[in-house]
Amino acid sequence: MVPTLGTMHTSVSRRTSSCRVVDGRSTVLRRPVAVLIYDIHFLSPEAVNISNVAGLVDAEGKPHFKYIVEGANLFFTQQARMSLEKRRVVLFKDSSANKGGVTSSSLEVLAGLALSTQEYVDLMIFKDGTPSDFYQSYVKDIQAKITENAAAEFQCIWREHARLQGAKARTQISDELSSTLNDLQADLEASDLFEDVPSRRGVMRKAVPKTLVDQVGLDTLLERLPEAYQRALFSSWTASHFVG
């Protein structure tokens, strides 16, 4: 059952500037930016669906905006996405646009596995509200990996959409990309490629944030990480850098 979306009112205002973040600093962009404002009473999964997506276009069927980058998971149904893309909205769905949280949490888990208890306390726990140099460097590594992964996925979807001359929606391309990556990762995990030690070490050195490798050392890192975790990390990194 699709959860009911309460009354949805839309209005459009204009601002003379917007803000983006570059290298951890906010930058004001001095140009007109259309801002779509929604009064939505129930923000639930599948809140924008085929029964109410018409509320996002004007009386002539023209969308109120040109781009959607989903910051929330499962907010749009697949039918709603496809309807908007047919109206030439450039849409990047949640599974492609919202991976930063998954990446950062997985790399936080990695630090917990790779560091000893005392190292974790010394390096990852704030002292008097102040993070360690290691922590700050590790956060920058994570941000860089998120940026790299996001750029790679964007380029892959954008190029494929252009190659097909728009015949396939970006939403569909995103789904196919996720499926291809998952299948390739599973094949790699089941293969014997992980047993090739030089390949394994080379991939792990690139997949693990440099700050963590420098702190612990690759040999110690490989001793501490469970083999199942190493296999998953090895296969996911290799798959993501092979597809595209």
Per-residue pLDDT of the chain (244 residues; tens, 9 = 90+): 333 333 444 444 444 333 333 333 433 334 444 444 444 444 566 789 999 999 899 999 899 989 999 987 888 999 999 999 999 999 999 989 888 888 999 999 999 999 999 999 999 999 999 999 999 999 999 999 999 999 999 999 999 999 999 999 999 999 999 999 999 999 999 999 999 999 999 999 999 999 999 999 999 999 999 999 999 999 999 999 887 6
Q: What pLDDT sits at residue 244?
A: 61
φ/ψ (deg, to 5) at 229: -65, -45
Pairwise CA distance, residues 34 & 16, whole Å: 9
Q: List the structure tokens of 148.
A: 């790299």
Find all residues with CB under 8 Å of 31, minimum gap 6, and list them.
16, 17, 18
The single-letter DSSP state of residue 11 is E
Neighbours of 212 (CB within 10 A): 21
Sign of CA dihedral 133, 22, 162, 102: positive
- pTM comes to 0.77
Find all residues with CB under 8 Å of 77, minimum gap 6, and list them.
2, 46, 48, 49, 50
Label residues 70-107 b or e (16+ Cβ within 10 Å = b): beeeebbbeebbbbbbeeebebbbbbbbbebeebeeeb
* Pairing relationship of beta strands 90-92 and 67-69 according to DSSP bridges: parallel
